Structure 1
Amino acid sequence: MAVLVTGGAGYIGSHAVAALLEKGEEVVVVDNLQQGHREAVTGGRLYEGDLRDEELLDRIFRENEIDSVIHFAANSLVGESMKLPGKYYHNNVYGTLCLLEAMNRAGVKRIVFSSTAATYGEPESVPIRETDRTEPTNAYGETKLAMEKMIRWFETAHEFRYVSLRYFNAAGAHESGKIGEDHDPETHLIPIVLQAALGQRPHVSVFGEDYPTEDGSCVRDYIHVSDLADAHILAVERLRRGEASAVYNLGNGQGFSVKQVIDIARRVTGRDIPAVIEPRRSGDPAVLIAASDKARAELGWNPRRSELEAIIASAWGWHRARPQGYRG
């Protein structure tokens, strides 16, 4: 039996594909390659296409013995989602509906969903727990929450079972050095910092230094992308055992400020990385840290790469070897 990975040519999806292959799983990938990279798919069977293509989805389920789905495919830029909410609802929400309906036609009822901490919005407490209120402050988070709810209703109506994984800031690169983070445009802090270290951008912008944190800059929870991939496999195994649907946070449970990330990157790279203080961005909470004890207890998930210095070092190895990403 195979696992279908949607968005498996993307950053986190490609690491999940690699982890599944390392476990000896048969893997099928579908990706429209608008954001993903063909070179990032290290094995399995790749279908190039869109989830909104009903004929393609039916063909994928017909041609492969799929028993579980891991769903990554989505647009994920917060700023863009505020300017183009229609794009996000059509791709993320409607795309997920197409996937769920195709799964139902094929009799495949297990799905692991790549969700996000953006479903919480402004945190009511730190660390954030799965039982905290969900009030997204941007269209991206709102679509992810809508996708979670849709999957839950498919459980009620069609006996699906699911695991939704809400995670925080993915970072790092695969230990093989073959796959890493390559976005265009790049919006994530650690690759932006490393691009500055490589001289590909003049400086790193620090958006605000008057937050109620130790050094005034925002604090975030960083997790190695391979640890995230491991959690998705554990979630598939949970569903295969027939256990109940669930929602889990994934994070290290500790936070690092923007300024701390830059300082650690300077140590790791041995390079001067200029930083420029700029005004706050709208909607940036001061602190986002995950409580992930539920995932540890119920999934048996244990992050093995939790030191931020090691996470940044793995990313630095990727960016230094492939300064142009998959294009170089």
Structure 2
Amino acid sequence: MTWLITGGAGYIGAHVVRAFAAAGIATVVLDDLSSGHRSFISDDQDFVEGTLLDVPLLDRVFSEYRFAGVVHIAGYKYAGESVKKPIHTYEQNVTATTNLLAAAERAGVARIVFSSSAAVYGTPDTDLVTEATATRPESPYGETKLIGEWLLRDQGRATGLRHTSLRYFNVVGSASPDLRDTSPHNLFPLVFAALAEGRVPRINGTDYPTPDGTCVRDYVHVADIAEAHVRAAERLTGDEDIEPVYNLGSGDGVSVRQIMDGVARVTGTPFDPEISPRRPGDPARIVASGELAARDLDWRMRHSLDEMIGSAWEASRSGA
């Protein structure tokens, strides 16, 4: 049983690949290395460098391997930047997903786990998001993730594709010092880079309608996210009942200000954050219930905030 992992050389994807290996499930990684790293993939891991926009390449990969299913993580994942680059975002997230689903259908591969996002909710009108909460994305990124879910739904109706989409927001931490978040837009890498360079970390917006004025999010450890992907794939392979969507949420929100305080505490580097204007596309609060995923995917928060920060800080200093 082998699974194709798109985006498997990225921060989240590489953790998923290792979680699959720990579960004894073989994988093939497909990644264009636009944001991933070849060094995140072991030398003995089957790896194909390429883009999902390359249809002949997709057909070749599906013909060379016998896949039990696909975990689709590849994509352009920056909500704020997507406002500036909508066409690029749609191409990378919608056209690419359409190509992948078409190639999978041609090869008779009928299982997929989709890496979606809590960005599909926009700014919810409820304190705790569930899978039944209305989807109102506020960025091209969120829109493309919701369209990806629609594509899976419609393909499922048309062809019997078995699928599920995992919605999550801020993925942090590291399960290994050699795997770190290298995004130029995510909060932890930005904060750690500032500290390493002797600069003061920045908060984007302190005028949100939240208790301390900063954005409130679910912060979830990448290793917990990776395990949920494995459980979803196993459920699909075992032909067990599975929901079309799961929130991988903590049930508790953490503000950006609280993150800053935690970073100062864990790293032993006190600082007073610089305050900048809001970023476009950033909702004030998204906190999700993970009850449904706990029921079906053994989802739970296995790491504290300080453990998330500490493991991310260690990985950031490794120079991986």
Q: Distance in 1 between matches of 2:99 and 2:280?
A: 33
- Counterpart of 1:192? 190
Residue 181 of structure 2 corresponds to: 181
* Offset at residue 139 of structure 1 (A): 0.5
Shift of 1:196: 2.1
Q: Distance in 1 between matches of 2:85 and 2:148?
A: 18
Structure 2 residue ranges without an equivalent (≥5): none
DSSP 3-state at the match of 2:104: helix
Report whether the alignment pairs 1:297 with 2:295: yes
Q: Distance in 2 between matches of 1:284 and 1:36?
A: 24
For structure 1, list consecutive stretches of 5 or more residues without a partner in the other structure: none
> Is residue 268 of structure 2 the alignment partner of residue 270 of structure 1?
yes
Cα distance, 1:75 vs structure 2: 0.6
Q: How much has 1:55 moved relative to structure 2?
A: 1.6
Which residue number corresponds to residue 235 of structure 1?
Answer: 232
Give the aligned partner of residue 79 of structure 2: 78
CA distance in 2, matches of 1:25, 1:321: 28
The whole-number CA distance in structure 1 between the counterparts of 2:112 and 2:282 is: 31
State the alpha-carbon separation in 2 of the partners of residues 229 and 286 from structure 1. 26
Q: Is the 8 A contact 1:168 1:290 kept in 2?
A: no
CA contact (8 A) 2:12 2:222 kept: yes
User: What SS does the aligned partner of 2:116 have?
Assistant: strand
Corresponding residue number in structure 2 for 1:87? 88
Q: Deviation at 1:274?
A: 4.1
RMSD across aligned positions (CA): 1.4
**DSSP 3-state at the match of 2:150:** helix
Query: Which residue type is aligned with residue 14 of structure 1?
Result: A
Taking structure 1 as the reference length, the TM-score comes to: 0.93
Q: Residues 196 and 273 of structure 1 are in contact (CA less than 8 Å); yes or no, is this contact kept in structure 2? A: no
More divergent stretch after superposition (228-237 vs 253-262): 253-262
TM-score by length of 2: 0.96
Letter in 2 for 1:71: H
Residue in structure 2 matched with residue 99 of structure 1 by the alignment? 100
Q: Deviation of residue 245 (structure 1)?
A: 4.4
Over residues 3-45 of structure 1, what are the superposed CA-to-partner deviations in whole Å (9 max), with x where a residue is unaligned? 1000101110110001111111111000011111101113520
String of CA shifts for 1:227-280, please: whole Å, max 9, x gaps: 000000010011112124420001211111111111111111111334111223
Provide the residue aligned with 1:254 in structure 2. Answer: 252
1:8 and 2:8 correspond: yes
Write out aligned runs for 1:1-328 (5 A): 1-42=1-42, 43-174=44-175, 176-183=176-183, 186-199=184-197, 202-242=199-239, 243-305=241-303, 307-322=304-319, 326=320
- AA aligned to 1:157 is A
Kindly report structure 1 stretches of 4+ aligned residues shifted beyond 4 Å. Answer: none
Give the match's secondary structure for 1:89.
Answer: helix
Alpha carbons 2:80, 2:282 under 8 Å: kept: no
Counterpart-to-counterpart distance in 1, 2:92 and 2:210: 36
Aligned partner of residue 28 in structure 1, secondary structure:
strand
Contact 2:203 2:257 (C-alpha < 8 Å) held by counterparts: yes
CA distance in 1, matches of 2:278, 2:84: 18
1:83-126 per-position Cα deviation (integer Å, ceiling 9, x unaligned): 22111111211111110011001110000000001111111211
Alignment identity in percent?
45
Question: What code does the residue aligned with 2:309 have?
Answer: I
Contact 2:80–2:280, Cα closer than 8 Å, also in 1: no
